[in-house]
Structure 1
């Protein structure tokens, strides 16, 4: 569904992406792993068109993502941001229904609220939270609201940027389970950026290892533990010695 060929991106002398080749099949959950600063977030921004690559091609269903109707293109995506990124001045339901209250996806206010409450229910939150503000919620509840917002418009593709950051192990497990269930129910194509190996094992069909601006390895989740690739083995086991240099 999404294909990247030879994608490069530099910021001055910092060569972040050095020729990324990656295919994300329709209806599968792809997780991108790699250390901090390896270009995972830049790669995601390139796919969304927030950052223009210096070279290479990125296609969605065979169409170049840099051409065509921008609004129609973005309407196909949902996004769960690393920090939640809820709007403090909007109530919970208004956050969830943000895309449904404006633009090409605009719905009547009453309908948008009804959809928001249903999506909140899907992530385990009752209607009593709908009129609260984000500051009145715990971190775990805020993450659930963000997930509800990501799926509110029934997107074909969902991006998850470090979905369990800042959560305790139990809540992280809950979020991972919700992500897996929702992606499967919707039949959505998912791309997740994370360095949390628990999340990788819980939500992925396929895994890609990004290091040094290139995809060093990609394969099914069942192959990750048995691959002989030294980058993958060092990363998943957290070893200080190996081809990935540690700052010591």
Structure 2
């Protein structure tokens, strides 16, 4: 579904992506791991077309993303943003139905509200939440609303950017389980970026480690612990000592 070939991106003298090669099969869940500042978010932005690579090629469903009509292309994606990124001034149901109330995906208001309530139910929230404002919800509930928004338009591809940031371990587990269930039910292709190894183990079919702008290791989750790669081993076990440089 997604193929990156020798993708490079620099910002001034800072080379962030230095020749990324990655394939994500249709209907699978890939988690990209790596330290802060290794280019994980830039990678997602390049796939979405929000950032233009300096060189290389990115294909979605076999087509170069630069040749696809913009609105039609973006309609294939859903996204769970780090921190939720809900609109404070809109009630929950309008946050969930945001894409369904405008643009090419526009639906009648009543239909959009019904879909929003259905998606809220899918993430474990009751209909009475629909008319509340995001500030009236707990962090875990806000994250569920964000997940409902990501799936509202039944996208083919879903990106999850640090989905458990700011959540306690129990709620993190709940969100991880929901993501896994929903991606499987929808048959969606998913890419997640995270530092949370519990998320990696719960969500991933395959894992790719991004280090110094390149994919250092990539393979099925079942092989991660036995990768024999010292960079992967240090990262997944959170060791201070190893080949990955740490700031002291």
Q: TM-score range by the shorter chain?
A: over 0.9
Please give the per-residue CA displacement for 1:17-53, whole angstroms capped at 9, x wherever unaligned. 0000000000000000000000000000000000000
Aligned to 1:77: 77
Q: Counterpart of 2:12? A: 12
| SS class of match (2:117) | helix
Is 1:229 matched with 2:229? Answer: yes
Equivalences for residues 98-247 of structure 1 within 5 A: 98-247=98-247
CA deviation profile, 1:70-100 (whole Å, cap 9, x unmatched): 0000000000000100001100000000000
Distance in 1, matches of 2:195 and 2:32, equals 8
TM-score, normalised to structure 2, is: 0.99
Residue 90 in 1 paired to residue 81 in 2? no
1:23 aligns with 2:23: yes
Report deviation, 1:62.
1.2
Gaps of 5+ in 2: none
SS of the residue corresponding to residue 52 of structure 1 reads coil
CA distance in 2, matches of 1:68, 1:222: 35
Rounded Cα–Cα distance in structure 2 between residues aligned with 1:35 and 1:10:
18
Deviation string 1:167-209 (CA, Å, 9 cap, x unpaired) is: 0000000000000000000000000000100000000000000
1:67 to partner: Cα distance? 1.6
**What is the DSSP-based 3-state SS (H/G/I as helix, E as strand, rest coil) of the residue aligned with 2:53?**
coil
- Provide the rounded CA distance (Å) in 1 between the counterparts of 2:136 and 2:179: 23
2:144 & 2:210 partners in 1: Cα distance? 28
Question: Which segments of structure 1 move beyond 2 Å, counting only runs of 4 or more?
Answer: none
Give the C-alpha shift of residue 61 in structure 1. Answer: 1.2
SS, match of residue 66 in structure 1: helix
Aligned to 1:39: 39
Distance 1:84 1:67 in 2: 30
TM-score normalised according to structure 1 size = 0.99
Q: Matches of 2:41 and 2:216 in 1, distance apart? A: 17
Q: How many residues align?
A: 248
